[in-house]
Structure 1
Amino acid sequence: MFGNWNWGIFLEQAPFGNATYLDWLWAGTQITIALSICSWILAFILGSLFGILRTVPNRVLSGIGTLYVALFRNVPLIVQFFIWYLLAPELLPASVGDWFKGELDPNIQFFIISVCCLGFFTGARVCEQVKTGILTLPRGQKGAALALGLTLPQAYRHVLLPNAYRIIIPPLTSEMLNMVKNSAVASTIGLIELSAQANKLLEFTGRSYESFFAVTVAYVLINIVVMRLMKLVEKKTRLPGTFGG
């Protein structure tokens, strides 16, 4: 098996696009990275917002946060992709929906839909991490912040969230790694990311081992970079005398 591998296939000219097969894989890698970054920004914002709601002393707001988590954590990701792909454009105002479906470039459509799907899905998981981080803090921190005259939003912004984020950096790192891997599901709705490019390479060359070995190496390298960056963030934000410090 190993003796039949042909690594030179990546430097051969692809049948279209004036590019080599290696260029195809690099283009897919760029889309995977861009998708992961954009989705993570959305997931972090949503997770922080709903994570806060789940810890506030208001049953209505807490219930909204719980509903969000229950909805997006309990439905398989691939099902959510098709729901976003098939239903989301139909829920937009008619003029916006017609522009989105008829005039916008299909690749941009697939990218936006994938960002929203991955962002909302991962945001529900980040929400639980943020909630856990806040509830892990000593109860006296919130009381001391309120006693100093801070409002509840100010207490979250200046006291609770900065300390909670420091605690949950390791699980957030895991969620970032999962997001990179979950981005492969976007190929099911037509986004030509890394795994989709590997399928194209396999289709045109018949080289399955080389194609998916290269993709495996690409995913591993991306995740190594993510882990190193998050390790650096954890080191820079560490506070002496606190959990993880």
Structure 2
Amino acid sequence: MNQHINFSVILQGQYAGILIKGIELTFELALFSWILAFVLGVVLATIRMTNNRIAKGLVSAFVAYHRNVPMLVQIMMWYFALPSLLPQATQMWINQYNGEFLFSVIAIGLCMAAYISEDIRSGLRGIPHGQFEASRALGLSYIRSMWYVILPQAMRIAIPPLVNHTVLLFKNSSLAMAIGVAELTYATRQVENYTFRTFESYMVASVFYLLLSLVIMAAGALLTRHYRIPGSR
């Protein structure tokens, strides 16, 4: 017998609480992963713009690995494979202190850092080399030249792809459910199992992901217009 669509069943009481906790954990997972990805992405892009062949080769290998291996495999690698190399006591300690969340942040952050580093590198390549030479002529070191002169301009150019990959990171946070992180997709699965309201459960999750993605893209569009370099398209 077909059930009538009824969203009130999952939007109140304990089921609503499960979804709210899932949403909160999704925000935390996405935020910490993005911070790791952005900081590491800046470092990788800066290193790749140097003349050190060994450093550039290592960064290139890092980027190639994380861009070509599925993120789900990377999450499982961090959660199942790498901890198996640690002492048993360390494994037990990690499991006691929410290791699923920690390893998800690391895996997602490292993976997205590869994409973000390429976004920033494309922005860096869009800055005339003469500006770097001028800053060096003024006595600034390589790091100071990048930090105070080149990177701020490169970030303005890189905003559109950075926003796209921020949305991708946010959506890919759902992959953490594979190792038991109780984010929104995991919570939705729980509610669906408890209530048998499959359509309502996944529709609520879909609407949430859609709305947040649209908000991120809208914020990115505002940032792009505000920080657009005059004369650029």
- TM-score normalised by L of structure 1: 0.88
Separation (CA, whole Å) in 1 of partners of 2:87 and 2:36: 22
1:198 positional shift: 1.1
Gapped regions of structure 1 (runs ≥ 5): 14-18
Determine which of 22, 28, 32 is the counterpart of 1:28: 22
* SS in structure 1 of the partner of residue 10 of structure 2: helix
Instruction: Check conservation: 2:10, 2:16, Cα contact below 8 A.
Output: yes
Q: What are the superposed Cα offsets for residues 225-245 of structure 1, whole Å, 9 maximum, x if unpaired? A: 22233334334434435x35x
The CA deviation string for residues 183-208 of structure 1, in whole angstroms up to 9 with x for no partner, is 11100111111111111111111111
Whether 1:224 aligns to 2:214 is yes
Task: Give the letter aligned to residue 113 of structure 1.
Answer: F
Structure 2 equivalent of residue 6 of structure 1:
6
Q: Is the Cα–Cα contact under 8 Å of residues 157 and 229 in structure 2 kept in the other structure?
A: no
Deviations 1:123-178 (A, max 9, x none): 01001111111111111111111111111111111111111101000100000100
The structure 1 segments of at least 4 consecutive aligned residues displaced by more than 2 Å after TM superposition are 87-98, 227-241
| 1:71 corresponding residue in structure 2 | 65
- Name which of 50, 53, 59 aligns with 1:59: 53
Amino acid corresponding to residue 218 of structure 1 in structure 2: F
1:67, distance to aligned residue in structure 2 (A): 1.1
CA distance in 1, matches of 2:86, 2:114: 23
- Answer whether contact 2:157 2:228 (CA < 8 A) is retained: no
Corresponding residue number in structure 2 for 1:157: 147
Q: How many Å separate the matches in 2 of 1:95 and 1:157?
A: 42
Paired position in structure 2 for 1:137? 127
For residue 200 of structure 1, what is the aligned residue in structure 2? 190
Structure 2 residue matching 1:226: 3-state secondary structure: helix
Quote the RMSD (CA, aligned, Å).
2.1
User: 162-171 or 198-207, which moves further after superposition?
Assistant: 198-207
Q: Distance in 1 between matches of 2:104 and 2:82?
A: 11
Distance of 1:171 and 1:200 partners within structure 2:
34
**Percent of aligned pairs with the same residue?**
34
- For residues 92 and 21 of structure 2, the distance between their equivalents in structure 1, rounded to whole angstroms, comes to 29
State the distance in 1 between where 2:99 and 2:220 align: 30
- Could you report, residue by residue, the CA deviation over 1:41-75 in whole angstroms, capped at 9, with x for unpaired residues? 00001111111111111111111110110111111
Measured after TM superposition, the shift of residue 3 of structure 1 is 8.3
For 1:47, the aligned partner's letter is G
User: How far did 1:122 drift?
Assistant: 0.3
Residues 67 and 22 (structure 1), Cα distance of their counterparts in 2 relative to 1, 3 Å cut: same
Q: Could you tell me which of 167, 175, 188 is aligned with 2:165?
A: 175
Distance 2:11 2:173 in 1: 26
Shift of 1:12: 5.1
Tell me, which stretches of 5 or more residues in structure 2 are unaligned? none
* Residue in structure 1 matched with residue 136 of structure 2 by the alignment: 146
The answer to whether the Cα contact below 8 Å between 1:80 and 1:117 also exists between their aligned partners in 2 is: yes
- Give the equivalent residue in structure 2 for 1:16: none
The one-letter code of the counterpart of 1:84 is W
SS at match of 1:4: coil
